Amino acid sequence: MRLRIRFSKLDKIRFTSHRDVARIWERALRKAAIRVAYTEGFSPHPRLSFGLALPTGHESLAEYLDVEVLDLDGDAADVPERLSAALPVGIAATAAAVLEPGTVSLQEAVVASSWRLTLTGITEDAAHQRTTQALAAPSIVVTRVRKGHQVVDDLRPGIERLAVLPSGPDGVVVEADLATRIRGIRPGELVAACYAGAAEARVLRTHQWIERDGERCEPLAAGAPSSHALGACA
């Protein structure tokens, strides 16, 4: 049985690396007495599978973890409370669902992420102007380093939505939906290419999206039919 868990990563713990977060989850699952399946061999380890890695220093309301469990004592709806009690401040389990057999991995399934970026060093008017320019541009060409070599990529096809919200106390707020496949875009690349001179005061991932039956849904929608209410579709 596979269990998919949604969790948040906020405040100071955003500086914790992906590897350390994996260790945190291993400990929390043990403390919560959730019977996790282990690999075989000389060095067994829990069968855990995370979604797209969150860059260190970024926060998130929508991280996901797949756990292979031997059995589940109780209902999946009770799992978040059990786990949150065992997790450190800044990480909280917010929902869980049992996956249908054959559900593809998070790495394969997620097609886009939604982000909320708080920027300094730019005015709201300038952010609106540059957003309009970016959306109207036929291409946004950048140079990236891939496997030790410089390559030229076009970011524009991966920018699915871009909008400026009213400024907050910490800076100008921009929301973006960015593709994760083919030419996946990181928030820092978007800021450098479209808002040159601005700095990231806060980067928050608000959603990850999969596609199911022609609709875009959050990854918990891949759960068993009784759990579909947990997975909102856009």
DSSP for 70-113, written as a single string: S--SS-GGGHHHHHHTTSPTTEEEEEEEEBPTTPPPHHHH--EE
Strand partners, 120: 199
Q: At what angle do helices 187-194 and 124-136 cross, to 10 degrees?
A: 100
Distance CA 223, CA 99 (A): 4
Residue 225 has a pLDDT of 46
Distance CA 158, CA 208 (A): 14
Non-local CB neighbours of 132 within 8 Å, separated by 6+ positions: none
Strands (E), 141-198: 141-146, 149-154, 159-168, 171-179
Residue 229 has a pLDDT of 38
Average pLDDT over residues 39-52: 88
Q: How confident is the model at residue 213 (pLDDT cuts 50, 70, 90)?
A: confident
Read off the amino acid at residue 221: A
More confident residue, 196 or 223: 196
Residue 44 has a pLDDT of 86
DSSP alpha helix (H) spans, the chain? 18-31, 79-84, 106-109, 124-136, 187-194
Residue 148 has a pLDDT of 82
- Estimate to the nearest angstrom the gap between the alpha carbon of 44 and the chain centroid: 27
Read off the amino acid at residue 117: L
Round the average pLDDT of the chain to a whole number and report it.
Answer: 91
Average pLDDT over residues 135-144: 94
Strand 48-50 versus strand 59-68 pairing type = antiparallel
- Structure pTM? 0.91
Q: How confident is the model at residue 144 (pLDDT cuts 50, 70, 90)?
A: confident
Q: How confident is the model at residue 41 (pLDDT cuts 50, 70, 90)?
A: confident
Residue 228 has a pLDDT of 37
Average pLDDT over residues 200-215: 94
Tokens of 210: 């999969």
Convert the pLDDT of each residue in 110-121 to its tens digit: 999 999 999 999
> Of 70, 171, 180, 25, nearest to 115 (Cα)?
180
Tokens of 150: 């410089």
Residue 232 has a pLDDT of 59
Non-local CB neighbours of 127 within 8 Å, separated by 6+ positions: 119, 164, 172, 174, 195, 198
Long-range contacts of 221-224 (CB under 8 A, 24+ apart): 222/4, 222/97, 222/99, 222/100, 222/103, 222/104, 222/109, 223/4, 223/76, 223/97, 223/98, 223/99, 223/100, 224/97, 224/98, 224/99, 224/100
Q: How confident is the model at residue 43 (pLDDT cuts 50, 70, 90)?
A: confident
Residue 231 has a pLDDT of 52
Residue 233 has a pLDDT of 65
